Amino acid sequence: MSSLAHFINGASVGGGRTFENRNPATNAVVSTVAEADASVVDQAVQAARKALKGPWGKMTDAERAAIMRKVAEGITRRFDEFVKAEILDTGKPIRDVSHLDIPRGAANFTAFADQMLAHPTEAFRSPTPDGKGALNYSIRVPRGVIAVVCPWNLPLLLMTWKVAPAMASGNTVVVKPSEETPTTATLLGQVMNEAGVPPGVYNVVHGFGPDSAGAHLVNHPGVDGITFTGETRTGTAIMKSAAEGVRPVSLELGGKNASIVFADCDLDVAIEASTRSTFLNCGQVCLGTERIYVQRPIFDQFVNRLKAAAEIQRHGDPFEKTTTLGPLISQEHRRKVLSYYERARSSGATLITGGGVPDMPGAFAEGAWVQPTIWTGLPESHPVLREEIFGPCCHVAPFDTEEEAIALANDTPYGLAGSVFTRDLSRAHRVAAQIEVGILWLNSWFLRDLRTAFGGAKQSGIGREGGVHGLEFYSELRNVCVKL
C-alpha cells in the first residue's frame, strides 16, 4: 500500500488528513491519499497564478506544443505504470485500459498541441469617415488558471482531454481528480516534470467534493474558469459557484442515452455497437446506451441476440486479457445500481438476463461486481427509463413508426448522445437531425475524432470542447482595432 500526495508547483505535497483509495475488484486498500483543505488548494491556485507569469506565459505556441508532445511521449514510456495504476483504481479490464484509457490519454496531448497551432483568427477592414479605414484583427489569449474537476469513469482520458487543450492555449491548471481514482493524475505530475513543464503549470489536489478539495477549488477567487465532467447535480452546484466572480464554465454532464434500431439495419452492426454501448466499462460511460428502441419486426431477434452477447461477457481478474467486464467503481455505486435492479424487479419488468450479482472467486468475492442486465416491459415513466443508472444494463422497447421512435428518444431531460441504426440513407440523416443531443452516431457508437465538437444538449452540459471549439472556453478572443 502506498501513500499519494498532492502535486503542487512541481513537487509532492503531503500532510494533513488522508482517505483510503480502494480497488473495486477486491475492495482492498490501494493507497492512502492526502485530502486537501482550503489552504492546500490555495497553495495550488497561487502556484498556478505565478506560473502564468513565468516561462510558460512567455513561450510561443510552438514551444508549448513541443513540450506537450514530450508529455505524450512520457505517458507512452511509462505505459505499464499508467495501466497498472488505472486498473487498481477502477477495476476495469486490461484490454480496455491498454487500448482506450492510456493511449487516448497520451493522444490528447499530441492532438491538442497540433490543433492549437493551426487555429485561425478573424480580421475585418472597416470604412471610416476620413476614408482611411481601420483594420480589426483578433488575437487569442489564455484565460488564466483553469480548475479541472474530473469523474472516475475514464480518469486519465477525461482529465487529459481538458488539461491538454487548457495547457496548449497557454493556461495553467489545478486538477481535482475523483476521490475514487486519484493515481494517474498524480503520476502525470512526474511526467510533466520529466517533459520540462515549468513548475506550477500543472497542479493536482486530492479530496472529495462538498466541503473538501472540489468545493474549495471551484470557490477559489483565483480560478478564472472551471471545466467539469460529472453528474448533472454536481454541475448545477459548480455553476452556482462559478457565478461568483462571473467565471465561465464548461460542463460535460450526465445522460440517459437512447439508441434507435430500425428493422432495415445491419443487425450485426447494431448488436456489436449496442453490446459495447451497454456493457463497455461495466456501463460506466457517459455516452453509453440505457434505452434501446427497436422496430417491432426485429424486436424479438434483437433482444435474443443482445442477451447472447451479454451472457458471453466475462467477469474476472482485471489484469487477465480474457476479462471483458470489470466491477463497478465502488460498493456505494453498486448499491445504487442494484437499487434500480430491484425497482425493475418489483415493478414487474421482464428480466431478459442478469439482474443480480455474480459469484466471484477468492479475493474478488469482496468486489463491486454486478451482472450485465437487460429488461423489457417497463413503462416509459419508470425510473429505470428516466434516470441515469450508470451500470451494465439497458431497457429494450419496441416501436412502430419513425416519428414514434424520435419522440421516445427525445423524451428525457438529458441530451448527451444517441445512435441510430438503419440502411436507409435518407432516413438516417432525417432522424439524426431530429435527435436532441450533442453527439449522434449513425450505425456506430463511440467513434471519436478529437477535431469534432463534443458536449451535451439540454441537462447534459454547457459548451462544446474538441477541435477548435474548446478555444471558446480556454481562451479569450481579444479584438484589436487599428485606425489606418
- Active site (catalytic) residues: 252
| Smallest separation (angstroms) from ligand NAD to the CB of 426 | 30
278 binds ligand NAD (CB under 6 A): no
| Smallest separation (angstroms) from ligand NAD to the CB of 50 | 23
> Nearer Cβ to ligand NAD, position 149 or 325?
149
Task: Considering only the stretches 68-76, 131-139, 231-239, 360-368, report the one whose residues sit in contact with ligand NAD under the rule CB under 6 A.
Answer: 231-239
* Options 22, 78, 104, 176; binder of ligand NAD; rule CB under 6 A: 176
* Options 115, 227, 229, 376; binder of ligand NAD; rule CB under 6 A: 229
440 binds ligand NAD (CB under 6 A): no
Q: Which of 180, 184, 183, 175 is nearest to 157 (CA)?
A: 184
What number of CA atoms fall less than 13 Å from residue 400's CA on the CB side? Answer: 0
Q: What is residue 390's DSSP assignment?
A: -
Burial bucket for residue 233 (CB in 10 Å: 0-12, 13-18, 19+): exposed
* Options 68, 286, 374, 450; binder of ligand NAD; rule CB under 6 A: 286
Residues in the chain: 484
| Smallest separation (angstroms) from ligand NAD to the CB of 155 | 9
Amino acid (1-letter code) at residue 104:
R
Q: Taking the alpha carbons of 65, 70, 71, 75 in that order, is the dihedral positive or negative?
A: positive
> Nearer Cβ to ligand NAD, position 196 or 413?
413
Distance (Å, rounded) from C-alpha 159 to C-alpha 382?
A: 33
Residues near 284 by Cβ (< 8 Å), separated by ≥ 6?
A: 153, 328, 329, 390, 391
> Nearer Cβ to ligand NAD, position 115 or 232?
232
Please list every residue from 142 through 161 that binds ligand NAD, using CB under 6 A. 149-153, 158
Give the x/- contact pattern for ligand NAD in 126-145, rule: CB under 6 A: --------------------
C-alpha angle 455-457-461 in degrees, rounded to nearest 5 = 60
Contact 183, 88 (CB under 8 A): yes
Classified as helix, coil or strand, 266 is: coil
Please list every residue from 246 through 265 that binds ligand NAD, using CB under 6 A. 252-255
Please list every residue from 207 through 226 that binds ligand NAD, using CB under 6 A. 208-210, 214-215, 218
Chain-centroid distance of CA 6 in Å reads: 22
Residues near 484 by Cβ (< 8 Å), separated by ≥ 6?
A: 128, 132, 133, 134, 135
Strands (E) in 317-363, as ranges, are: 350-353
Please list every residue from 39 through 78 that binds ligand NAD, using CB under 6 A. none
φ/ψ of 420, rounded to 5, equals -130, 135
Task: Considering only the stretches 73-81, 84-92, 227-235, 271-279, report the one whose residues sit in contact with ligand NAD under the rule CB under 6 A.
Answer: 227-235
The label of the residue with cell 439524426 reads 432
Task: Considering only the stretches 132-140, 172-180, 185-193, 429-437, report the one whose residues sit in contact with ligand NAD under the rule CB under 6 A.
Answer: 172-180
456 binds ligand NAD (CB under 6 A): yes
165 binds ligand NAD (CB under 6 A): no
> Nearer Cβ to ligand NAD, position 264 or 387?
387
Distance (Å, rounded) from C-alpha 96 to C-alpha 90?
A: 11
Q: Which residues of 313-339 are buried (b: 16+ CB within 10 A; e: fewer)?
A: bebbbbeeeebbbbbbbbeebbeebbe
465 binds ligand NAD (CB under 6 A): no
Give the x/- contact pattern for ligand NAD in 374-413, rule: CB under 6 A: --------------x-x-----------------------
DSSP string, 363-379: GGGGS-----EEEE---
231 binds ligand NAD (CB under 6 A): yes
Distance (Å, rounded) from C-alpha 284 to C-alpha 328?
A: 8
Size of the site for ligand NAD (CB under 6 A): 32
Task: Considering only the stretches 67-75, 174-182, 274-282, 398-406, report the one whose residues sit in contact with ligand NAD under the rule CB under 6 A.
Answer: 174-182
463 binds ligand NAD (CB under 6 A): no
| Smallest separation (angstroms) from ligand NAD to the CB of 400 | 30
Question: Could you list the residues that contact ligand NAD (CB under 6 A)?
Answer: 149-153, 158, 176, 178-179, 208-210, 214-215, 218, 229-231, 234, 237-238, 252-255, 286, 388, 390, 416, 456, 460-461
